[in-house]
Amino acid sequence: MALREWVGIYLKGIAMGAADAVPGVSGGTIALITGIYERLITAITELDPRALALVPGAIRAEGRARLRARLVEMDVWFLAALGLGVVTALVTVSRAVEYAEETFPALLFAFFFGLIAASAVVLYGEVDVSTPRRAFAGLAGVVLAFVVAGEVAGALPHTLPVVAVAGAVAICAMILPGISGAFILLLLGQYIYLTETLSTFVDALLALVTGGDASALVAAGSVVAVFGVGAVAGLLTIAHVVKYALTHYRAATLTFLVSLMVGALRYPAEQVLGNVGAWTPARALPVLAAALVGGVLVVAIDRYTDDLDLASEVDAGEDPAPAAPDGGNR
């Protein structure tokens, strides 16, 4: 790729990362806006771990040529440039989130509430719940998210296995239009912990470069590494499951995913209530304003993308989904 294309993909990665770093806004939607969604999904599903078998042969010129050709075929360089932009944004936004959570948590979670609530309202206009199957999927999504947000999110420990699973699930949400990876982490009670850990890791890395202690780097780095491993595993496994579900049960799957956002509103609402204390006009107005800002942000993005059809764009470039037995879309 030419340097200009590299920079363009990197900047699109920054936009995706900034969107995915906050619950309620989807990096997949940004990929649609910037015209790279089909290429992204194709590159992810073309990733093949068997290409690693070519690495030992790279000591010879012909081996390097085969490895390079395979990497180009899988569009790895595109994913690398895009991923670098995503990481850049995640590191930057995580710092802001950590500061906000420590300084004014009620406003932060009110902002998240506005983001998630507005996203749910907007996305429900893109799904169809006119059949019993879809209505059941929607109800199941609301109930599951409500229970997880209240009973599971606070109980899940911040252990490495939990972090790995969270990474695997969140990465799939990050590539879906409308569903935010940060929202999944928030639902699982891992969002604040992981944003703080990422900031700690970056600080420790900078300190090590300047001659500091490596102990903090090892502790935070292990969490970041395990999350990354989980994310890669998710891309190679769960992403294919999600793709299958969207291809064969598109309407019901989208209804379920959007309904998760409704039930999950319990978590930011409880966080707001727990951090406000006594409600007075002086405390209520900033909270309402923060929620309004989050909602307006989502509505603005929706207006910019009002010509995008979520139900059809998620399968951009694929063959039409098989018809359900009754001839309709399940």
Average pLDDT, stretch 143-148? 88
Average pLDDT, stretch 26-37? 75
Confidence at residue 325, expressed as pLDDT on a 0 to 100 scale = 40
Confidence at residue 212, expressed as pLDDT on a 0 to 100 scale = 65
For 66, phi and psi rounded to 5 degrees?
-65, -40
Query: What is the DSSP code string of 84-143?
Result: HHHHHHHHHHHHHHHHHHHH-HHHHHHHHHHHHHHHHHHHHTT----SHHHHHHHHHHHH
Confidence at residue 322, expressed as pLDDT on a 0 to 100 scale = 41
- The DSSP 8-state label assigned to residue 329 in this structure reads -
Confidence at residue 304, expressed as pLDDT on a 0 to 100 scale = 67
Do 263 and 144 contact (CB within 8 A), yes or no?
yes
Do 298 and 25 contact (CB within 8 A), yes or no?
yes
Average pLDDT, stretch 173-187? 76
Do 123 and 261 contact (CB within 8 A), yes or no?
yes
Does residue 320 have a pLDDT over 60?
Answer: no
Higher pLDDT, 328 or 295: 295
For the four alpha carbons of 40, 46, 50 and 53, in that order, the dihedral sign comes to: negative
In the numeric block, which tokens belong to residue 39? 């290429």
In the numeric block, which tokens belong to residue 117? 């609530």
Confidence at residue 255, expressed as pLDDT on a 0 to 100 scale = 86
- Give the residue among 118, 101, 106 at the shortest CA–CA distance from 279: 106
Confidence at residue 222, expressed as pLDDT on a 0 to 100 scale = 93
Confidence at residue 4, expressed as pLDDT on a 0 to 100 scale = 81
Residue that is written with structure tokens 């309004």 in the block: 292
Does residue 8 have a pLDDT over 60?
Answer: yes
The letter for the amino acid at 295 is: G
Confidence at residue 319, expressed as pLDDT on a 0 to 100 scale = 39
Does residue 157 have a pLDDT over 70?
Answer: yes
In the numeric block, which tokens belong to residue 53? 């078998």
Confidence at residue 143, expressed as pLDDT on a 0 to 100 scale = 92
Confidence at residue 226, expressed as pLDDT on a 0 to 100 scale = 95
Q: How many CA atoms lie within 13 A of 271 on its CB side?
A: 25
Does residue 248 have a pLDDT over 70?
Answer: yes
Domain assignments of the chain as residue spans, ordered by start: 95-313
The number of beta carbons lying within 10 Å of the beta carbon of residue 191 is: 26
For all residues of the chain together, what is the average pLDDT? 81
Where would I find the H helices in 181-317?
Answer: 181-187, 191-209, 215-236, 238-248, 250-264, 266-276, 281-304, 310-313
Do 171 and 235 contact (CB within 8 A), yes or no?
yes
Which secondary-structure segment (H or E) carries 72? helix 61-73
Say how many residues make up the chain. 330
Do 217 and 201 contact (CB within 8 A), yes or no?
yes
Does residue 181 have a pLDDT over 50?
Answer: yes
The model's pTM is 0.72
In the numeric block, which tokens belong to residue 125? 């206009």
Does residue 163 have a pLDDT over 60?
Answer: yes
In the numeric block, which tokens belong to residue 11? 């900047």
Average pLDDT, stretch 107-117? 91
pLDDT digits (tens, 9 = 90+) for 262-319: 888 888 998 899 898 788 988 899 999 999 998 998 888 777 655 444 444 444 444 3
Higher pLDDT, 36 or 221: 221
CA distance 201 to 196: 9
Whole-number percent of the chain with pLDDT over 70: 88
CA distance 17 to 33: 14
In the numeric block, which tokens belong to residue 172? 């799939």
pLDDT digits (tens, 9 = 90+) for 216-231: 788 899 999 999 999 8
The letter for the amino acid at 216 is: A
- Give the residue among 183, 17, 176, 177 at the shortest CA–CA distance from 86: 17
Confidence at residue 213, expressed as pLDDT on a 0 to 100 scale = 67
In the numeric block, which tokens belong to residue 69? 């050709």
CA distance 183 to 23: 4
